[in-house]
Amino acid sequence: MSTYILNDVSLSSSSLFQIDTLILTPEFALICEVKNIAGELSVTENPPQLLRITESGRISGFPSPLAQLTNTCQLFEDWLTAKNINLPVLGCVVLAYPKQRLSIFKTTVPILFPSIIPQHVRSLYTNQPLLSTEELQSLAQSIVKEHRSYAPNPISTTYSIKPKDFLTGVDCPLCNTLGMTKKGQFWVCPSCNHQCTTAHQQAILDWFLLFEGPLTNNECRRFCEIHCSQFTRQALLNMNLTPVRATKNRGYIKQHTQHR
C-alpha cells in the first residue's frame, strides 16, 4: 500500500497551520505533533496542559500538545473538505526524546515515542481504502505545491516585550540552567557541570524566535554572553544562516524559520 510521509508542512485554510509530520495513506491521514521537551513530562487533557519537571524539581508549563493537535487536525480536515477529499484525519503526539519519563492522565490522543510510530500506523489500517493510488499521489502533490514556509512573528513583537527584558546567556541542554560559561572550547554548566561545545547553537536559534533578524555579531555576543567576537563569527558561519550586508556590520538571517 502506498504511503507518503511529509515533514514540516505548512498550509492555510481558515488560518495558517503547520504539521510536523504528515503520514498519508489511502485510508487516513495521520498528523504527528512532535515535541522536543527534555525532562520528566506530565500530560493531562482536562485541563489541557503539559508540565515539565526538571531534576531540580522546577516545574514549567507548556501549551498543551493535545489542544494544538486537535486544532491542527481540524484545520487540515477543512483543507481537505475544501478540495472535496474525504479522508479521516487522525492525530498523535510524538515525544522526540526516547528515554523520557512520562505521566499521562486520561488522554484520548495517543502519545508515542518515535520507534512506535510504524506499529501505530499499521494498527490504524482497516483495509478500506478511500483513495486510489492516483488520488493519493495527487493529494500529496497538491500539499507539496501549496506548502509555504512558516515564519511566525518573533515573540518580542507579538507580545511587545523589550529586548532587554529577556534573560540572556546559554542554556544547559541537560538541566536547562541558564548561564553556561565558556571555558576554552567548552561550555560548562554552573549547576550540573555538563560540558559541551555546541550549547550556544540553541541560544542562537532561540534568538530568531524572539527577535526580528538580522542577527549581528555584537547582538549575538550580548544575547549568548560570549566575549570573543572571533568565536561568535565562526559560530554564526557554522549555522547555515544567510549573511546580509558586507563584512562590516554583517548580520545573519534565518531563511526558513520552522520552530515553535
* Nearest distance, CB of residue 188 and Zn ion, angstroms: 9
| Residue 56 CB neighbours (<10 A) | 10
Question: Could you say whether residue 22 binds Zn ion (CB under 5 A)?
Answer: no
Q: Which amino acid is at 251?
A: G
Question: Could you say whether residue 189 binds Zn ion (CB under 5 A)?
Answer: yes
Question: Could you say whether residue 194 binds Zn ion (CB under 5 A)?
Answer: yes
Binding segment for Zn ion among 4-12, 66-74, 189-197, 247-255 (CB under 5 A)?
Answer: 189-197
Question: Could you say whether residue 54 binds Zn ion (CB under 5 A)?
Answer: no
Q: Which three cell numbers stand for residue 259?
A: 520552530
Beta bridge partners of 111: 93
In the bound state with Zn ion, the residue whose beta carbon lies nearer, of 124 and 178, is: 178
Angle between helix 199-210 and helix 217-224 axes, rounded to 10 deg: 110
* Nearest distance, CB of residue 38 and Zn ion, angstroms: 11
In the bound state with Zn ion, the residue whose beta carbon lies nearer, of 139 and 174, is: 174
* Nearest distance, CB of residue 180 and Zn ion, angstroms: 7
Q: At CA 9, angle to CA 3 and CA 141, rounded to 5?
A: 50
Residue whose cell numbers read 477543512: 78
Rg over alpha carbons for the chain, rounded to the nearest Å, is: 21
In the bound state with Zn ion, the residue whose beta carbon lies nearer, of 112 and 192, is: 192
Residues between 147 and 186 with contacts to Zn ion, criterion CB under 5 A: 172, 174-175, 177
| H or E, element range at 60 | strand 59-62
Residue 127 is classified by DSSP as S
* Nearest distance, CB of residue 193 and Zn ion, angstroms: 7
Instruction: Using CB under 5 A, list all residues that contact Zn ion.
Output: 172, 174-175, 177, 189, 191-192, 194
